[in-house]
Structure 1
């Protein structure tokens, strides 16, 4: 999610980078996947990292190299400058980029369609109705996370407008503010919540499953420039196929995720990982995470938010390309029960 300054920086970078001619990697060079985390995250999105360490990409015949950056604007700038072939970014970032002129970007898969979010609060807030008058932390007023929290609470019978909404920035800052008693509630990922050192006096007000049920929106997608689709399509398919395979393996046996994360994050408490794994049961993108219905619903909802009030969101066919995921599923088949493969 963007802060106001990051949004301005992001648009400036995208517009400037459009003047450059992307330098495309050749098929005998690594396929570079840009991610916006510096180490494997404690969410299903970690399959991108684990597919490297566990050899899933290698077995599909593609040499994937992770390029780590700290924020979405940097990921998009790197992608546009030819420093990577694919990037994992938010759908909001993709649509903002498209509106800024980067109309050659295409979403091709989503290894974790919706990060598992929950609403955490002080113990004295027993249900969403108790948030009236309480201090609720958001990234900033009008941001996507603010709008998403408002949608969830409305669906669950609450009213965020009745709360004192406080702009605090990134989730880790909001988490620390909650611990310090500076706010009464906020939205966090499961991983952020589980990694808090002390949750005395706090509890989960809205569980992740209920949060997603109230707002079944696609949070992140993997995007590639059209030129990469044109010149390295087989490798794009191989990357998508590897991500689907590892997602299915983790969904079938959560212990595999625990053991793999222990390997890449040796200092992480195993009990923490074992507690997280069951909560991801419905989060694995076993069919590539590209439900056309969910993507349309996401873009339609975003069009109604403050960040997109002056931006025309393009139709799905302009920014999503289903060919790679459909080619992967032609080999692997479709699994029922989790993400839909509707078109």
Structure 2
């Protein structure tokens, strides 16, 4: 009996010790971004994770490939990555990574262009800045432009990298148009000679694809599930608070964006209406649609099909919503 009690005590001690370790969340930005994805940074700053009883430590890398490499190397417990990258891994045989929540499932993209480009059709013969060939911004924007009547064969796509770099290239006249987030657009210091060619609402309507998801290795889900749930709850709570009162986001983000005027931040916050993941961002129908859409792109042409259950675990968000209830305002669960 004493041996059983001792073994039980040791198990409790080992579990407590494991959960005392920081829960490392890998993000693909170097500072809180001007998009709803900033909830991950701000949940640390404002104590949302702490109040849920989880010690979250952010690990910062640049772009999804680095985040994937980091989590596969055991350098984090959760990572915010592009859905396309996860699906490619799963299609190639990876079985131990699962999407569990999405704090910003659809980045608020728009297409900006020189004033001379009055309509999407005018892009024929023009240059268009992209992250890289086959990147999500390239694929999504191609769908949006095709739906708007653009002859894509007549567009010159130029690889430029991150959205802020593409914005700078557009402002400098190096390209005629590009895709960026509403935050990058609003933060541009000089938009003389530029305009929004396809606004945020029209962009998402043409390509309603889930972009970013938070993944965990199956071992983390098995061994540290309580912390995974706590992270999901914290991200839902902060998303709901920002959705209900955008001025809270403005106040929280302002110290990290000192060069941006308060009025600009107010405008950005207003543009996020309906974009906050107030229910965890894991709608099965949207995820399935996104998967099917991605499989129609060039990057997936030779890859075998996968099932939703192979790469997503919906039980984490379901458990969080059982406790928090469903917010009927947006983000249908």
Would you say the 8 A contact 2:90–2:310 is kept in 1?
Answer: no
Q: CA, structure 1 residues 191+163, in 2 after alignment: closer, same or farther (shift >3 Å)? A: same
Match of 2:153 among 148, 153, 161: 161
Q: In 2, Cα distance between the equivalents of 1:312 and 1:111?
A: 28
Task: After TM superposition, give the deviation of residue 156 of structure 1 in Å.
Answer: 2.9
SS of the residue corresponding to residue 107 of structure 1 reads strand
Match of 2:62 among 57, 70, 78: 70
Q: Match for residue 170 of structure 2?
A: 178
Q: Match for residue 204 of structure 2?
A: 212
Task: After TM superposition, give the deviation of residue 327 of structure 1 in Å.
Answer: 0.4
Match of 1:333 among 294, 318, 325: 325
Aligned residues: 317
SS of the residue corresponding to residue 27 of structure 1 reads helix
Q: Match for residue 47 of structure 2?
A: 55
TM-score by length of 1: 0.88
Q: Match for residue 248 of structure 1?
A: 240
Would you say the 8 A contact 1:33–1:66 is kept in 2?
Answer: yes
Q: CA RMSD in A?
A: 1.6
Q: Match for residue 290 of structure 1?
A: 282
Which has the larger Rg?
2
Structure 1 position 222 matched with structure 2 position 214:
yes
Structure 1 position 121 matched with structure 2 position 113:
yes
Moved more, 175-184 or 273-282: 175-184
> 1:102-113 counterparts in 2 under 5 A?
102-113=94-105
Q: In 1, Cα distance between the equivalents of 2:131 and 2:73?
A: 29
Q: Match for residue 142 of structure 2?
A: 150
Q: In 1, Cα distance between the equivalents of 2:33 and 2:136?
A: 21
Q: Match for residue 33 of structure 2?
A: 41
Structure 1 position 201 matched with structure 2 position 193:
yes
Q: In 2, Cα distance between the equivalents of 1:64 and 1:170?
A: 26
Match of 2:265 among 262, 273, 291: 273
Would you say the 8 A contact 2:92–2:303 is kept in 1?
Answer: no
Gap regions ≥5 residues in structure 1: 1-24
SS of the residue corresponding to residue 158 of structure 1 reads coil
Q: In 2, Cα distance between the equivalents of 1:83 and 1:206?
A: 39
Q: In 2, Cα distance between the equivalents of 1:42 and 1:211?
A: 18
